[in-house]
Structure 1
Amino acid sequence: VLLLENVRFHPGEEKNAADFAQALAANGDLYVNDAFSAAHRAHASTEGLARLLPAYAGEQMRRELDALNAALGAPKRPVLGVVGGSKVSTKLDLLNNLVGRLDALAIGGGMANTFLAAKGVDVGGSLCEHDLGDTARQIMAAAEKAGCELLLPLDVVVATEVAPGADSHVRALDAVGAEEKILDAGPKTLARLIAAMDASATLIWNGPLGVFEVPPFDKATVAAAKHAAGLAKSGGLVAVAGGGDTVAALNAAGCAEDFTFVSTAGGAFLEWMEGKTLPGVAALSQ
């Protein structure tokens, strides 16, 4: 076994320079890529090298691709998606792709506030991209046209500060105060999400439902994760999750090991969910 230094120190790596790829290829007879987390990058070590040697996917790469195919490529239906996180702007491509491929899509986290505001809900002092109201309405219309049920919050948990143990309250959508921030999904929202999981055969999850890093605003994410994990463990649900925040949330809930599969990738997982071709995977396929 020969361990080379991090190839990203070399200027030819990110440029996918042909001479650098050839220099790497001179070190071996076969190429095995086991780095799905870097497969969305067309670099010398992930794409150029695969075209110069007999190329294969490693076992971790195979497990990733098999799991993602089971979740979104050729899934058992009905398929439920859970997408959370802070901003709609970072997940526009993801949302536009998913509404055309899922049976239901639950939106949580700060990005749900943008959708609520687009429907005329006063979200008070919450994180919200008000300038994306038209975009949110377009996504809602696309979901309706595609027959994808969009599950937005029915109630919310609010506080005036984001701090551990902060004084929090459950609010109806029409009762959020001007100074209050929406920081988690409420009990009615959680109950409906759990019911949607019970009615689904496949779940694909990216992003938390609230500010899970700061208790007590982790309750909905933890409860939903534990329920999904229980269904997956009993064989009632194919549950696949990925993305840095998502993995951290599942680990915090202590249930990551019971999911069908938890992706090791961040950007590559997101781009695959967006329906984009991953250069590192395409090079192996060819």
Structure 2
Amino acid sequence: MNKKALEDLNVKGKKVLVRVDFNVPIIDGVITDDNRIVQALPTIKYLIDEEAKVILFSHLGRIKKEEDLAKNSLDVVAKRLEELLGQKVNFVPYTRGIELENAINEMKNSEVVMFQNTRYEDLDGKKESKNDPELGKYWASLGDMFVNDAFGTAHRSHASNVGIASNLESAAGYLMEKELKYIGDTVANPQKPFVAILGGAKVSDKIGVIENLLKKADKILIGGGMAYTFMKALGYNIGTSICEEDKLDLANSILENANGKIVLPVDVVVTKEFKEDAEYRVATYKNLKEDEMGLDIGPKTIKLFKKELKGAKTVVWNGPMGVFEFTNFAKGTEAICEALANMKDARTIIGGGDSAAAAIQMGYREKFTHISTGGGASLEFLEGKELPGVVSLDDALECDCGEDCDHDHDH
């Protein structure tokens, strides 16, 4: 990564603005998965240890109307962070104004202030999401330097990442660096054999990813709702299963150009109703009935996918194999998750989103080489796209040898 790193900044006594990604799931005021907060701790702790004044901010959910404000307040996140850090986090419930400015100006070294959800600024004209220059400039004025540790929003050009970075000295945090290293390096220089597993509902979400990975991967295993579009393109009956009719030609041309690298399901778990306790059976595509829909991959497909994974040195997984929120249709996702978690000599990476949630839910957090904190950002990165939140950061200093290097000498 040729961007400035945390250690390149002289942070002692300085007000350091840190864009974190604390967009965590909250149900009835309780955080149900704190992975994103945990992943940001190394950056925050480093800055505390180096005696910086640490000013944290994040988005949470979407703000479209007044009633979205209260349910998307970051106060509950600040409390959880306080527990994890073991030190006071001063939460300021504003995104601008005198209270926020005073709280920051009164900070002592190693103290932590967190201000309100950046998307509160979206209530009045999407100022955050549309990278309003005045807002980016204002937030930049609150600090001396900027650290972006929010990989989850790196594919967006917002006031809280690109806007601030264009006004201040900036660097990538540890989590950002880790994400770029694992996902970027893995896709650029994978250890072979390299197998990608793609799931989720839509082919259209993953077209760029499939096309980019076909150049790099030895096999691409496709499950989830997107598999039905491919199966219909091949002429199979998919009943009432989810399908993007306008993508059938595209699915066909992807398969034609894949040179046998794409592996599709051979059986499927079907039901007549989309609900948790619906009656279900296992079917092949040849005997799937007109009024049935597929909600998971079947046991023969699980076996096939496991066989394709044998001996792989690099595996990237993005997207569940079925409707894993329903117990009866979670077996495919669970089986793939378990298979990857037990691969001893492989680099295993989950590209965020639902597959990351499934792995953590099943207790496999520590069993993967890397679980990404960014769904959309991971996908765009896997497509080979540049991420605005990364591009906007300051480049690393070049040393005398004239290139970005790891030489052990001072710049």
TM-score, normalisation: structure 2: 0.64
Q: Deviations over 1:7-66 (max 9, x none)?
A: 333354333333333322222222111111111111222113223322111111111111
Matches within 5 A, 1:2-151: 2-10=113-121, 12-144=127-259, 149-151=261-263
Residues 1:189 and 2:301 are matched in the alignment = yes
Moved >4 Å (runs of 4+): none
Question: Cα RMSD (Å) of the superposition?
Answer: 1.8
Alignment partner of 1:172 out of 284, 293, 298 = 284
Amino acid in structure 1 at the alignment position of 2:332 = A
| Contact preservation (8 Å) 1:70, 1:76 | no
Q: Pick closer, same or farther for the CA change 1:22–1:122 going to 2, 3 Å.
A: same
Give the number of aligned pairs.
280
Q: Pick closer, same or farther for the CA change 1:69–1:131 going to 2, 3 Å.
A: closer
The worse-fitting range, judged by mean Cα deviation, of 115-124 and 191-200 is 191-200
The worse-fitting range, judged by mean Cα deviation, of 106-115 and 65-74 is 65-74
**Structure (1 or 2) with the greater helix fraction:** 1
Give the distance between the partners of 1:8 and 1:158, measured in 2 at CA. 40
The worse-fitting range, judged by mean Cα deviation, of 164-173 and 25-34 is 164-173
Shift of 1:78: 1.5
| Contact preservation (8 Å) 2:212, 2:384 | yes
Higher RCO (Cα < 8 Å, 6 or more apart): 1
Give the distance between the partners of 1:204 and 1:218, measured in 2 at CA. 19
Q: Deviations over 1:108-144 (max 9, x none)?
A: 1111011011011111121222332101011112222
Amino acid in structure 2 at the alignment position of 1:135 = L
Q: Deviations over 1:162-216 (max 9, x none)?
A: 3334332222221111112111111221111111222211111111111111122
* Residue 321 (structure 2) aligns with: 209
Alignment partner of 1:199 out of 304, 311, 314 = 311
* Residue 379 (structure 2) aligns with: 270
Q: Pick closer, same or farther for the CA change 1:31–1:156 going to 2, 3 Å.
A: same
Amino acid in structure 2 at the alignment position of 1:18 = P
* Residue 337 (structure 2) aligns with: 225
Residues 1:152 and 2:264 are matched in the alignment = yes
* Residue 284 (structure 1) aligns with: 393
Unaligned 5+ segments in structure 2 are 1-111, 396-411
Give the distance between the partners of 2:289 and 2:127, measured in 1 at CA. 54
Amino acid in structure 2 at the alignment position of 1:31 = F
Q: Pick closer, same or farther for the CA change 1:206–1:51 going to 2, 3 Å.
A: same
Shift of 1:97: 2.2
Give the distance between the partners of 1:178 and 1:143, measured in 2 at CA. 29
The worse-fitting range, judged by mean Cα deviation, of 72-81 and 109-118 is 72-81
Amino acid in structure 2 at the alignment position of 1:7 = T
Secondary structure of the structure 2 residue equivalent to 1:216 = helix
The worse-fitting range, judged by mean Cα deviation, of 112-121 and 55-64 is 55-64
What is the aligned-residue identity percentage?
Answer: 40
